[in-house]
Structure 1
Amino acid sequence: MNDAERMTATACDWLAGQQAEMVDCLKTLVDIDSNSYDKAGTDAVADVIVGWLEADGIDVKRISRPESGDILEAWLEGDGSDAGHVLMMGHRDTVFPTGTVAERGYTRQGDTAFGPGVADMKSGLVLNIFVLRALKRLSPLPFPVRALFTADEEIGSRDGTAFIREAASGARAVLNAEPGRISGNVVTGRKGGAAFLIEVTGKAAHSGVSHADGASAIEALARKIVRLHALTDYDSGVTTNVGLIEGGVSRNTVAPSATAQLDTRFVTNQQRLDLLAAIEAIIAEEDIPGTQATIRQTSGFLPMEPAMSEGLFARYRTQAEKIGFNVEGEFTGGCSDAGTTASLGIPTLCGTGPVGAKMHTADEYCRLETFVPRAQAVAATIVSLAAEPLVQP
């Protein structure tokens, strides 16, 4: 056996005996409410993670945040050579409101676990923690390994993105432990997305007495919505959707104001730029004399273009086959932080967490029997990068 094979065997052998502890850790995390806006909850998850890592001698830096959950960054030192690190990522927040755990906390039926955030993505957090612990037993590592635990991915990583960019700087590869697909596959491509708030102002008037004196913000917004929706192109993967609208003061008043929330999705960064330009042109036009519209982006994810995952996925698939399971890559319309690192030109693979499904619903579940093999595949993939570094596209 060469050095890489010995290191892989050591890590995988240790992980093979950790199934029960992984499940116990998952239960602990799921039974802590951690909605994106619940700083106390996401920080409580951070407290637990810090305790687990420090107990195993793994260094953790905690960056206090005034409003969002604190940022955690754990790392393992390399052998001292000037080699780019590998970054693992995961988010501690969930979409479920505080109080959900009291109503329906962690439960288990055989090899299936249920509970708020059990798949998206507290199981992925546990996987990354145990991969770190496995790699800690390999001394020295051929390059540093870092793990970032953020707390606002479900609301667009408005605070976390800057820390992701910093942690990824100089990385040779990124593995994001979002849940594996129900097929057992990993994610090799994701759409990007951006959300916008559109505000239109007009002029109020009595709709019966002085209708002509008014300028309807609602009518202006309606005309813009038709044109915004016309930007959808299913063949290219671009979609636009105004999902919420508000406006007016009464039925018999020409509306002086109206607002809308727009969701957009795209496959490539060039599509994003083209789409934003088209949207801005629509908003700038005065559809109704006397009205004016503005637009503000409220959140966004960059796309994870499939080209950025090809080499890393091939490496992961090879290691998975050696461990004993087959895996393919899938494209998904959902967004994740993997788009941020992929758009930096860093080889990125997503969906490396345990297999799960029905995310963001009361029926969300995680397949517990996938914990160990998928953790082994991540650890083996990381070690394999020492023997043969990836060539970036």
Structure 2
Amino acid sequence: MNEASRNEPVISAEEIFEGIRQWVSIESPSTDAAAVNRMADHVQDGLARLGAIIERTPGRDGWGDILKARTQWGGDGPGILVLSHIDTVHPIGMIEKLRFERQGDVVFGPGIYDMKGGAYLAFYAYQHLMRAGRQTPLPVTFMFVPEEEVGSPTSRALIEAEALKNKYVLVTEPARDGGKIVTSRKGVGRFVVEIEGRPAHAGARHEDGRSAVRAMAKLILELEGMTDYDRGITTNVGLISGGTGVNVVPQFCTAEVDLRVPDAATGEEMVARILGITSDEPGVKVTVTGGMNRPPYQKDEKIAKLFDHAKMLAAEIGFELEDCVVTGGGSDGNFTAAVGVPTLDGLGVDGKGAHTDYEQAYYSSFEPRARLMLRMLETLT
């Protein structure tokens, strides 16, 4: 063993475990800006101790702050953007039900898989570099987003602008299907369907009413019927509200719709179909708003080359890396790939159960995935 090897800091799964525990224990649902900012405070403190150049953009429209940290080296030249989000879908108090604990190889906790585990791996890789006294060939910018789980409404423009300043984007969303990383994702559309009918007493003057709920029920079947698995299209009516009382013919009804498409052309087709829906119920008015929320993220030659590089590094570390093509979930990687910057996603921890009450990460993935992130930062030029 040479002197450099003896002085090299150890990459410790136990240390990673403890760091992830701290991050998961700070609950940060997207819609609670104060909670997300407490998480941002914790991450910022750690990055500042490592000497990172910090930039924090105050939140707006009720969302949390956007945190950005840049390595001390490399100046303003194009480098690597490591993109993470620190918000979760889980409400405050979920940590009491889904306790952070390890059972064999499984580590449970709200947001551990999506994506505090992966976000922490990025922090840990930077910490390792600083401990070892090493710099990367390219400058690295770490960006922590506060509202990815709701579509990144206030951070999208900053994400795209930051991506365009860099040569590569690495996204710390969780691994898929046993450790696969992501090289393409479906585009995501969101729509609101509003129907206005005519209210009436449900008993005395039922015939005078025009039920918005009845009309919506028929449209829901039409919307759900647009799903086409063979073409990679899914539609989901996920939220419905309407009516004012059980004895009143409902005047209003609202439904929110999720759309997933494999490519931009299909997105244009489906957006036109959904925006153009009408009701055959007499006396009701239908209003549809919305469109594509995240553009499709499609694997091209540059992304394929970036994946091949990661695959080579994984082989050196000791595991085989595969990619997951056209996953249905969206991420901020959709934005960066769509503006033409080579993007590799799913570099976080392996596990399963995102957004559920059994969300989990695999302890055995902590060390190799940290090594892969570290080697990506060290070898991209």
The verdict on a shared fold, with TM-score over 0.5 as the criterion, is yes
String of CA shifts for 1:14-50, please: whole Å, max 9, x gaps.
5643433222111111111111122222212212111
Change in Cα spacing, 1:42 to 1:248, as seen in structure 2 (3 Å) is closer
Question: What is the one-letter code of the residue matched to 2:281?
Answer: I
d(CA) in 2 for partners of 1:323 and 1:75?
Answer: 26
Alignment-derived partner of residue 84 in structure 2: 90
Query: In the alignment, is residue 291 of structure 1 matched against residue 284 of structure 2?
Result: yes
Label 1:171 to 1:275 Cα distance change in 2 as closer, same or farther (>3 A). Answer: same
Corresponding letter in the other structure for 1:304: Y
**Taking structure 1 as reference, are residues 25 and 252 closer, same or farther at Cα in structure 2, changes over 3 Å only?**
closer
Matches within 5 A, 1:20-31: 20-31=14-25
**2:108 counterpart of 1:108:** no
Whether 1:165 aligns to 2:184 is no
Task: Provide the C-alpha distance between the structure 2 equivalents of 1:243 and 1:33, rounded to a whole number of angstroms.
Answer: 25
2:186 alignment partner in structure 1: 191
Aligned residue for 2:229, secondary structure, equals: coil
Contact 2:28/2:35, CA 8 A, preserved across alignment: yes
Structure 1 residues 335 and 203: CA distance shift in structure 2, 3 A:
same
Once the two structures are TM-superposed, the CA of residue 134 in structure 1 deviates from its matched residue by 3.5
Structure 2: distance between partners of 1:178 and 1:117: 11
Counterpart residue identity of residue 181, structure 2? V
Secondary structure of residue in 1 paired with 2:358: coil
Read off the aligned partner of 1:334 and give its amino acid letter: G
Superposed counterparts of 1:1-393, under 5 Å = 14=8, 16-66=10-60, 67-80=62-75, 83-136=77-130, 141-206=136-201, 213-250=208-245, 253-282=248-277, 285=278, 287-297=280-290, 300-307=293-300, 309-331=303-325, 332-386=327-381
Q: How far apart are 1:318 and its partner, in Å?
A: 0.8
CA change 1:273–1:14 in 2 (3 A) is farther
Q: Provide, for residues 289-317 of structure 1, a one-character-per-residue CA deviation record: whole Å limited to 9, x for no partner.
A: 43211123398333222336322111110
Separation (CA, whole Å) in 2 of partners of 1:276 and 1:14? 53
Q: Aligned partners of 2:319, 2:244: CA distance in 1, in Å? A: 60
Q: Partners of 1:90 and 1:23 in 2: how far apart?
A: 18
Deviation at 1:378, TM superposition (A): 2.1
Residue number in structure 2 paired with 1:389: none
Paired with 1:200 and 1:75, the residues of 2 have a C-alpha distance of 48
Equivalent residue letter for 2:144: F
Residue type at the aligned position of 1:129: F
Question: Which sits farther off after the overlay, 224-233 or 29-38?
Answer: 224-233
The two structures have a TM-score, normalised by structure 1, of 0.86
Cα distance change on mapping 1:379 and 1:286 into 2, 3 Å? same
- Out of 49-58 and 289-298, give the one that drifted further: 289-298
Could you give the per-residue CA deviations for residues 67-109 of structure 1, whole angstroms, max 9, x where no partner exists? 21211101114445x7522111111111111012244432123
Deviation at 1:213, TM superposition (A): 4.3
Q: Given the two structures, how large is their TM-score scaled by the length of structure 2?
A: 0.89
- In structure 2, relative to structure 1, the CA distance for the partners of 1:243 and 1:110 (3 Å cut) is closer
Change (3 A) 1:311 1:273: same
Whether contact under 8 Å (1:174, 1:349) holds in the other structure is: yes
For 1:39, give the aligned amino acid. Answer: A
Shift of 1:194: 2.2
- 1:326-376 C-alpha deviation (Å, 9 max, x unpaired): 010013211211111111111111110121212222222212232222122
Equivalent residue letter for 1:154: E
Q: Is the 8 A contact 2:188 2:330 kept in 1?
A: yes
CA distance 1:299–1:32, shift in 2 (3 Å): farther
Q: For residues 193-251 of structure 1, what are the alpha-carbon distances to aligned partners after superposition, in whole Å with 9 as ceiling and x for unaligned? A: 22222111122345666555443323432343333233221111111122333333456
Decide whether the 8 Å contact of 2:105 with 2:362 is kept in 1. Answer: yes
Change (3 A) 1:248 1:105: closer
Moved more, 319-328 or 204-213: 204-213
Corresponding residue SS for 1:242: strand
- Contact (CA 8 Å) 1:309, 1:348: kept in 2 or not? yes
Q: How far apart, in 1, do the equivalents of 2:193 and 2:89 lie?
A: 24
Distance 1:125 1:102 in 2: 22
Bigger shift: 318-327 or 287-296? 287-296
Take 2:270 and 2:233, find their aligned partners in 1: how far apart are those partners? 8
Q: Is residue 193–residue 302 contact of structure 1 (8 Å, CA) maintained in 2? A: yes
Q: Secondary structure at the match of 1:313?
A: helix
Separation of aligned partners in 2, 1:269 and 1:152: 24
Q: Distance in 2 between matches of 1:319 and 1:96?
A: 34
SS in 1 for 2:230: coil
Instruction: Write the letter of the residue equivalent to 2:290.
Output: Q
Q: In the alignment, residue 38 of structure 2 is paired with which amino acid?
A: A
Native 8 Å contact 2:267 2:292 kept in 1: no
Asked whether the 8 Å contact 1:35–1:94 carries over to 2, the reply is yes
**Once the 2 structures are TM-superposed, how far is the Cα of residue 64 of structure 1 from its aligned partner?**
1.8
Q: Which moved more, 1:365-374 or 1:246-255?
A: 246-255
Q: Which residue of 2 aligns with 1:6?
A: none
Secondary structure of the residue aligned to 1:190 is: coil
